[in-house]
Amino acid sequence: MPVFWPVGHVEHVMGTVVSFDLRIADESQRPAMRAAITSAVSWLHRVDGVFSTYRADSQISRLGRGEVRLADCDPDVAEVLELCATVGRETGGFFSSTYAGRLDPTGLVKGWAIQRASELLHAAGSSNHCVNGGGDMQVVGEPQPGDAWQVGIAHPLHRNELASVVSIRDGAVATSGTAERGAHVLDPFTGRPAETLASVTVVGSELTRVDAYATAALAMGDAAASWLESCPGYEAFAIRADGFGWWTTGYPRVATVPES
């Protein structure tokens, strides 16, 4: 019975921690996979340099101040801003690429960058991996032959305990919550922190939208249940600040659901 071996790497980038977990069937693949990780990591740092709102000299900061035109920026900037506009429409405006009146596509960049990093790894020959950026991940293939990736969903009200486990082969999982940085997601329409849900997890195929949808769902609160139910290809699991929860009707097909 063949066994996959892990090739791991942890990188601090984009204001978070990105965990690479590649699986190889043959040790001879290890050098190539190490090189692939190195390339993906350097690409993530390049993205950080272009999109960081914490760096005054990043292209996104200069664009926000009107010092450069979009046409003068890296083509990725136009792609990301276009995606922000599209996702904004898809979420009825609950996903927004402005924060405090300033241009801030941060809510989309991380998921987009991790999805792209996964695609880079795949193009370099990695057909089994998980790239997890601060709890939001794109997974490809299997962790072991015949197995699906088992993704634990952190319980937002119980530190380092899980509330559910998602089984996924190719796809994305993202969790947006208030636990980490307080109520950092604002309802774009009221300007007030979104506090109904302690966390909401979205499962889908591509992390760019999965991550942005999780952010939007947190801002929507319970209304996100109806919205995500109407989104084909997406499932969701939410734990409210009061400890009660809900999930989409298809979620039990991809994950364990809590038992009382």
Partner 1 sequence: MRRFVTVFVATVAGLVILLSFKTTTSKSGPPVALSGTTPGSPDPASSPSATAAQSTPAGNGPASAPPSTSSASAAPSTSSAKAAPSKPASGTKTVTGTAVPASEGGRRQFGIVTVQLTVTNGTITTATVVSWPHNDQHSLQISSFAIPVLNSEVVAAQSAQIDAVSGATITSDAYAQSLQAALDKLKA
Q: CB burial class (10 A; 0-12, 13-18, 19+) of residue 100? A: exposed
Q: Residue 155, interface with partner 1 (CB under 8 A)?
A: yes
CB 186 within 8 A of CB 193: yes
Interface with partner 1 (CB under 8 A), residue total: 77
Q: Residue 44, interface with partner 1 (CB under 8 A)?
A: no
Among 180, 183, 186, 206, binds partner 1 (CB under 8 A): 180
Residue placing its CB nearer to partner 1 in the complex, 60 or 220: 220
The torsion angles phi and psi of 151, rounded to 5 degrees, stand at -105, 115
Give the shortest CB-102-to-partner 1 separation in angstroms.
16
Among 132, 140, 235, 236, binds partner 1 (CB under 8 A): 132
Give the shortest CB-68-to-partner 1 separation in angstroms.
23
Residue placing its CB nearer to partner 1 in the complex, 59 or 138: 138
DSSP strand pairing (16-24 vs 5-13) = antiparallel
Among 149, 171, 235, 254, binds partner 1 (CB under 8 A): 149
Residue placing its CB nearer to partner 1 in the complex, 158 or 253: 158
Residue placing its CB nearer to partner 1 in the complex, 72 or 226: 226
Residue placing its CB nearer to partner 1 in the complex, 67 or 89: 89
Question: Of 253, 147, 134, which is closest to residue 203 (Cα–Cα)?
Answer: 253
Give the shortest CB-93-to-partner 1 separation in angstroms.
6
Residues 191-250 binding partner 1 (CB under 8 A) are: 196, 199, 201, 220-223, 225-227, 229-231, 239-240, 242-246
Give the shortest CB-98-to-partner 1 separation in angstroms.
11
Give the shortest CB-154-to-partner 1 separation in angstroms.
3
Span near partner 1 by CB under 8 A; candidates 35-43, 46-54, 66-74, 142-150: 142-150
Q: Residue 136, interface with partner 1 (CB under 8 A)?
A: yes
Q: Residue 25, interface with partner 1 (CB under 8 A)?
A: no
